[in-house]
Structure 1
Amino acid sequence: MVSPSQPEASINSSTLPEESQQDRTITLAPSDGGYGWFCVLAQFLINSLTWGVAASYSVYLAYYLSHDLFPEGRPIDYAFIGGFNFAFALLVAPLATLLMGFYGVKTPMLSLGFISASFASKVWHLYLSQGLCVGIGIGLIYIPATSVIPQWFSKRRSLANGICASGSGIGGLIVCFATQGMIGTIGLVWSLRITAVIVFVVNLAATLLIRSRNADIKPSIAIFNLHLLTSYRVKLLLGWCIILMFGYITLMFSLSDYALVIGRSPQDSATVAAVLNLGAAVGRPLIGLASDRYGRVEVAGVATFSCGILVFALWLPSTNYAVLIIFAPISGSILGIFWAAIAPLAADVIGLQRLPSLLNIVWLSVALPCAFAEVIALELRRQELGVRSYTYAQIFAGLSYIVASTLLFELWRSQKGARNPV
């Protein structure tokens, strides 16, 4: 890994041996602040009201699984709907990047997915609204803004990105409690409609606030750069992203329903989801700070491995709610390491100019795990085992994190060897 203290020009010129002379052009160094902090605020709000809202689907999932709202609906349907939030948000990446090239990062906002979901009378209506439309809306907001923060920071890049990523934790914390409260008092329909209005207003303000440095950085306008896939380090990074996402989606979406399985109330189920997001809100800035100081790939690798160990040490052996409440914030602080680390890691590996191209490859690569992870988890669920019904899903999540961590440790070894040739 390139040391966070190295100048930006060194990052751009030494990461891939295949780089052309044009790619080695020295760009104007980030100021590590200035207007960049307003962009951090904007990205924080975007994460709060996109991924934070998507994370609150765990509350909807638990509600759908415990209520016979749609007679034709099966658990696998509700799992797919939640997966669609993530999958289509990432699959829309090429379109979002293309629109960013024409209109900048102030590209049109969130869809009317939540409002249309409030009128659903068939489960396929939820597929199109709360799944497809919400997912596309998230992608059109989040994707164009993702590559902006690394443009404004160098030494503090991971800290800035961690603060941004903590927005999804704060948003998830607030929205999980609010969603459960609204469902309990005014019902599912108005819960969806009120969420839609808040999401639209906040994201509109945030996207008007954000500003890129494309005029200085001059990033590649290519939506894809498949030549990046010839790099061993890029392959390792992509492998980490894909495998990790199976564990992340399984853990994030399953924990609320697991609380119901062990006999707790819907309010307790929402509390588990909320404290999970609280952990993310607190942990991600700390991960960013540690990454800038001790190394981005090293910290991400340790966090990934630790999350897998926590699954086996705390979640798997216990059916006690108190242990679940302890596990949720601790795991929450590191389970979403992907969102806190991917942009800084990708910038370190290939540089700022080709960052949008690599991020597009990343988004498309993790779309399938996002769509199918919770489906796999619910297929692994064995209801006849009672409170132990999630055993196989828990093992699946834990192994995903541990296997993914080995790829980052290999990336660290590869980069260390490149800096210290024999």
Structure 2
Amino acid sequence: MFVTDEKLDGLEELGPKQPSASPTPSLEPDLRDGGLQAWATVFGCFLMQFCGFGYLSSFGVYQDFYTRIYLSNYPPSAISIRWIGALPSFLALSGTLISGPLYDRGWFYHLMVVGALLQSLSLFMLSLAKPGQFYLVFIVQGVLAGIGVGLTYGPSIAVVSQHFSKRRTLVMSLVASGVPCGAIIHPIMLNHLLNGPVGFSRGVLTSAGFVSALLLMACLSMRTRALPTPSGSYRIVARKCSRDVLFILMTAGYVVFRVGFFFPLFYLQLDSVKHGIDVNFSFYSLVILNAASFVGRSTIGIVASHVGVLNLTIISTVVCSALCISMIALSDIGSVIVIAIIYGYFSGVYTAMLVPMVAVLTPDLSELGARMGICFTFAGFGGLVGGPIAGALLSSQYRWLIPSLFSGFISLVGSSLFVVERLIINRRGLAKR
């Protein structure tokens, strides 16, 4: 049996809950939801997401700026193939392979401080880059920032599980909404700074000061509670995961889906500009997308307990796949708005369910960090190869048909794996319906 009865309590969140004749006892009877320390931690974790993946999600602004101005001697495929955009997202996810076990062993504060310092340092160093200095941009924006976010991303969401039990999915989705909130604010600021009279160097320097101040506030706000001692080594947890069919399907689904997931995030603004749409409006295309994502992430936790984490993942990934294909039809302001709003909302739903999905499939919370590390490391490879492949298919002639079809259909394959997982759960009667 791949999934034991001890997982039933968590698996209830994978599908709609119905009253049970014999209630399952709580795994954490002494865990009190809320309190000043708990909500201060939520605020700090929100800021970490705002400055971490929230900033990485604004790479579409840099993609557009580098392609047209700063690195104009490199085609768009080179910018992605050489990983300025794809590498940070990969390192941010795969970094949980290290930060996850360290979090399980009580190194939370160390991870937050070191990760925040690396993120801040990367932006200050990026402000020193000159036009054409590709490798400096690659090192500081691709490598240094990715490692910094990787140390903070997973633990800054997982730590709220120490403070909340019944409202855990809701609170995790609120924390995750820091990403689209950051992806709204950062693009607006960067577009005005980079493309205005301030210029690249002073613009990035201003952004670095803003982010550093928020990271300091985050580090001062977050607190931990004692968790059970880790039940085993990484090898033991990995062995458990290798025998868990549901965990394998979830991880494989994330890997394949993320190959196409970042295409609209990286290329929507550039696509708008290249189709002759007003540049000033195109600058706000990512803002619209991320505003819709913020709504999706911050509200979906309310219905997650009724609809189910897995069901929401299936719905959101299918819609996102269809929207990737629909970028073929982008031609005017109306089409940009429609794509940005719908894709933004459902991409926010998908992202908000990432950690809750791992959490409900983790019977022992002392293994949560390690399981996130394993799952997100594999998932990171999807984003790492997806951006470069899409950029290569786009080519210097900006042929949007092939990369749109590729991103959409490969994402749809990932969605189908979540459907298979749903069928297995239904067949085994693991989710109380």
TM-score bin (small chain): 0.7 to 0.9
What is the CA-CA distance between 1:240 and the residue it aligns to?
A: 1.4
1:141 alignment partner in structure 2: 152
Matched, 1:152 2:153: no
Residues 96, 139 of structure 1: 8 Å contact kept: yes
1:223–1:193 distance in 2 versus 1, CA, 3 Å: farther
What is the CA-CA distance between 1:318 and the residue it aligns to?
A: 3.3
What is the CA-CA distance between 1:31 and the residue it aligns to?
A: 2.7
1:61–1:249 distance in 2 versus 1, CA, 3 Å: same
Residues 293, 344 of structure 2: 8 Å contact kept: yes
Amino acid at match of 1:117: L
1:19 alignment partner in structure 2: none
SS of the residue 1:148 aligns to: helix
Residues 110, 138 of structure 1: 8 Å contact kept: no
2:74 alignment partner in structure 1: 73
2:375 alignment partner in structure 1: 362
What is the CA-CA distance between 1:120 and the residue it aligns to?
A: 2.0
1:248–1:29 distance in 2 versus 1, CA, 3 Å: farther
1:247–1:202 distance in 2 versus 1, CA, 3 Å: same
What is the CA-CA distance between 1:174 and the residue it aligns to?
A: 0.8
What is the CA-CA distance between 1:418 and the residue it aligns to?
A: 2.4
1:103 alignment partner in structure 2: 107
1:148–1:222 distance in 2 versus 1, CA, 3 Å: farther
Matched, 1:163 2:178: no
> Which residue, 211, 222, 245 being the options, matches 2:258?
245
Residues 28, 216 of structure 1: 8 Å contact kept: no
Query: Equivalences for 1:267-286 in 2 at 5 Å?
Result: 267-286=280-299
1:120 alignment partner in structure 2: 129
Residues 147, 343 of structure 1: 8 Å contact kept: yes
1:335 alignment partner in structure 2: 347
181-190 or 99-108, larger mean C-alpha shift: 99-108
Query: Equivalences for 1:260-339 in 2 at 5 Å?
Result: 260-312=273-325, 314-339=326-351
Matches of 1:33 and 1:221 in 2, distance apart? 29
Matches of 1:326 and 1:293 in 2, distance apart? 28
SS of the residue 1:32 aligns to: coil
1:231–1:286 distance in 2 versus 1, CA, 3 Å: same
Aligned residues, how many? 402
> Which residue, 184, 199, 203 being the options, matches 2:211?
199
1:134–1:216 distance in 2 versus 1, CA, 3 Å: closer
1:86 alignment partner in structure 2: 89
What is the CA-CA distance between 1:255 and the residue it aligns to?
A: 0.8
Matches of 1:164 and 1:182 in 2, distance apart? 27
41-50 or 230-239, larger mean C-alpha shift: 41-50
Q: 1:377-419 deviations in whole A, cap 9, x for unaligned?
A: 11111554x6xx2111111222233222211122122222222
Matches of 1:334 and 1:223 in 2, distance apart? 33
Alpha-carbon RMSD across the aligned residues, in angstroms, is 2.8
Matches of 1:106 and 1:237 in 2, distance apart? 30
SS of the residue 1:174 aligns to: helix
Residues 105, 144 of structure 1: 8 Å contact kept: no
Matches of 1:31 and 1:339 in 2, distance apart? 26
Amino acid at match of 2:57: A
1:54 alignment partner in structure 2: 56
> Which residue, 189, 206, 210 being the options, matches 1:178?
189
Amino acid at match of 2:415: S
269-278 or 410-419, larger mean C-alpha shift: 410-419
Matches of 1:36 and 1:12 in 2, distance apart? 25
Q: 1:90-121 deviations in whole A, cap 9, x for unaligned?
A: 23323323553353245322321111112224
Matches of 2:63 and 2:48 in 1, distance apart? 23
SS of the residue 2:154 aligns to: helix
Residues 8, 154 of structure 1: 8 Å contact kept: no
Amino acid at match of 1:152: H
Amino acid at match of 1:52: G
What is the CA-CA distance between 1:149 and the residue it aligns to?
A: 2.1
What is the CA-CA distance between 1:288 and the residue it aligns to?
A: 1.8
What is the CA-CA distance between 1:188 and the residue it aligns to?
A: 0.9
Residues 27, 216 of structure 1: 8 Å contact kept: no
Matches of 1:406 and 1:30 in 2, distance apart? 36
> Which residue, 186, 201, 210 being the options, matches 1:189?
201
1:247–1:12 distance in 2 versus 1, CA, 3 Å: closer
Residues 184, 288 of structure 2: 8 Å contact kept: yes
> Which residue, 407, 414, 417 being the options, matches 2:417?
407
Amino acid at match of 1:398: G
Amino acid at match of 1:342: L
Residues 106, 208 of structure 1: 8 Å contact kept: no
Q: 1:21-69 deviations in whole A, cap 9, x for unaligned?
A: xxx99444543333433322222111111111111111011011111x3
Q: 1:214-263 deviations in whole A, cap 9, x for unaligned?
A: x2444446345211121110111101111121122112111111111111
2:406 alignment partner in structure 1: 396
Q: 1:283-302 deviations in whole A, cap 9, x for unaligned?
A: 11222222122211111111
Residues 172, 352 of structure 2: 8 Å contact kept: yes
Matches of 1:259 and 1:359 in 2, distance apart? 36
Amino acid at match of 1:272: S
SS of the residue 2:224 aligns to: coil
Residues 97, 370 of structure 2: 8 Å contact kept: no
Residues 97, 374 of structure 2: 8 Å contact kept: no
221-230 or 84-93, larger mean C-alpha shift: 221-230
SS of the residue 2:329 aligns to: coil
> Which residue, 38, 41, 49 being the options, matches 1:39?
41
> Which residue, 394, 417, 420 being the options, matches 2:427?
417
Structure 2's unaligned 5+ residue stretches are 15-24
